[in-house]
Amino acid sequence: MAFDYDLLVIGAGSAGLSAAKTAARLGARVAIADPGPLGGTCVNRGCIPKKFLVYAADFVRQQQQAKHYGWKNLAGEFDWPTLRTAIHGELEQLQQSHAKGLEKAGVTVLPHHARFVDEHCLSVGDQTVTADKVIVAVGAKPVLPDLPGIENGLTSRDIFQLPELPQHLMVIGGGYIGVEFGCLFNLLGCQVSLADKHPLVLEGFDDTLRQRVHQSLIDQGLNLLPETALSAIEPQGQEKKVRLSGASSEAITADAVLLALGRKPDLSQLDLDKAGVEVEKGAIAVDAHSRTSQPSIFAVGDCTNRKPLTPVAKAEGVAAAKTLFGPEPTEVSYRWVPSAVFCFPEIASVGWSEAEAQEHETIEVHCETFVPLNYKLTSQKPEALIKVVIAKASQEILGLHMVNDASAEIIQGLIPALRRGLTLSELTETIAIHPTSAEEIFALS
């Protein structure tokens, strides 16, 4: 049978773009189907616009510290519409860049949703397309529980469309999305309340980091409501009354409610059953090479049940394309995948947490705190934290965790050595640059 394309990629986010471009470089005839905008969640509603918000909030922190360094007359006024306009302008440039990159690679863009008719035939817009192989990379969408008034809440998709900065923002969920946006909007001048069903924010991270960040958010003035869940959202004019249950059951009135309750694979428009693709616990089931139950169909990125991180999605897209069109199958290793939470102070983590490591090895834990030099002259002296989890017998480092400004930039430079079995002695025998925060990693005892 002659197919229209060797490969059809469904979804033009991080995973889909990397898969399409890699397959095209390997000589495949490739099309990518997505109603747009190109770049998916990361570019348009997640990583990139959020990081611009991080930079904006950091100017507030610099102003707070500058007077201790001799600066005067620093009072300024933040204008949310100016930032919002600038962010959207840059996102349009990124979308155009992705379009040019696909064109240069020879990838055909089909700006529509794609639905399976069978394993090789798909309905794309008003046309039918056939492909020898298919890679599904549709990503994920916010979890919206079936609660009264849930339609009155915002998701991270909506937050950058706000016409003005809310005076009081209610955040539901203490994962990385809730913590980041709660921290950033607090710095920009909003009153922020954050409710989370867990005792500490950032479930899934190392407990020592969670404790430090939880207390830091309180110290910064956020109203944290642990072990508390959303019951309902009731509109009251321009405001919202948020009804809660659990440890805190008193209703809170806010200008806006951000729903940060996690994300789930966005599979509703695919008709996977018509292609014989199995779904497990709401995600596309795949093997180590991203192959689904249908041999000609692969799935990568957040629509599967693996690590929902942009760099992982990119790596999975590349690996799937190489498996399909390269000389040999390619797998992604998930052992040393780093992650970061871009709040203040920043969190970065790679490898196993203390609890995870205890499931595999007899371990030692080295944990140090210090006040970074740039805070020594200021009135507030937040402590940074470095935690290293080590295999007792081999002294190999199993996990490295940090709470400090720029911790993501510091930790990721060590990952190649960690992958190769870096030991504590090799770390501490390294001569570091002084004075820096990073040198504290090399001074662990």
Q: What is the CATH number of the domain that holds 359?
A: 3.30.390.30
Cβ-count burial of 142 within 10 angstroms (0-12 exposed, 13-18 middle, 19+ buried)? buried
Which run of H or of E encompasses 264? Answer: strand 263-265
Kindly give the pairing relationship between strand 347-351 and strand 339-341: antiparallel
Is residue 119 domain-shared with residue 66, that is, in the same domain?
Answer: yes
Is residue 175 domain-shared with residue 108, that is, in the same domain?
Answer: no
We report the CATH number of the domain holding residue 224 as 3.50.50.60
Cis peptide, bond prior to residue 308, ω within 30 of zero = no
Q: Is 369 helix (H, G, I), strand (E, B) or coil?
A: strand
Is residue 185 domain-shared with residue 239, that is, in the same domain?
Answer: yes
Write down the residue that tokens 């956020």 correspond to: 222
Domain that holds residue 406: 345-443
Domain boundary among 211, 226, 261: 261
Q: pLDDT digit of tens for each residue in the chain (445 aa)?
A: 799 999 999 999 999 999 999 999 999 999 999 998 999 999 999 999 999 999 999 999 999 899 999 998 877 789 999 999 999 999 999 999 999 999 999 999 999 999 999 999 999 999 999 999 999 999 999 999 999 999 999 998 899 999 999 999 999 999 999 999 999 999 999 999 999 999 999 999 999 999 999 999 999 999 999 999 999 999 999 999 999 999 999 999 999 999 999 999 999 999 999 999 999 999 999 999 999 999 999 999 999 999 999 999 999 999 999 999 999 999 999 999 999 999 999 999 999 999 999 999 999 999 999 999 999 999 888 999 999 999 999 999 999 999 999 999 999 999 999 999 999 999 999 999 999 999 999 998 7
Is residue 10 domain-shared with residue 110, that is, in the same domain?
Answer: yes
In a domain, 386, yes or no: yes
Using an 8 Å Cβ cutoff, are 70 and 338 in contact? Answer: no
Domain boundary among 325, 360, 375: 325
Using an 8 Å Cβ cutoff, are 137 and 114 in contact? Answer: no
Is residue 377 domain-shared with residue 394, that is, in the same domain?
Answer: yes
For residue 402, how far is the Cα from the chain centroid? 17
- What type of residue sits at position 163? P
* Domain tally, the chain: 3
Is residue 53 domain-shared with residue 114, that is, in the same domain?
Answer: yes
Which run of H or of E encompasses 210? Answer: helix 207-219
Kindly give the pairing relationship between strand 279-280 and strand 283-284: antiparallel
Is residue 23 domain-shared with residue 130, that is, in the same domain?
Answer: yes
Q: Is 43 helix (H, G, I), strand (E, B) or coil?
A: helix
**Which residues carry out catalysis?**
434
Integer Cα distance of 62 and 47 in angstroms: 22
Integer Cα distance of 63 and 76 in angstroms: 9
Integer Cα distance of 275 and 265 in angstroms: 17
Is residue 278 domain-shared with residue 350, that is, in the same domain?
Answer: no
Domain boundary among 211, 229, 261: 261
Enter the pTM of the model.
0.95
Is residue 228 domain-shared with residue 270, that is, in the same domain?
Answer: no
In a domain, 338, yes or no: no
In a domain, 9, yes or no: yes
How far is CA 199 from each of CA 207, 208, 232, rounded to the nearest angstrom?
11, 13, 21
Widest pairwise Cα distance in the chain? 75
In a domain, 357, yes or no: yes
Kindly give the pairing relationship between strand 223-225 and strand 191-195: parallel
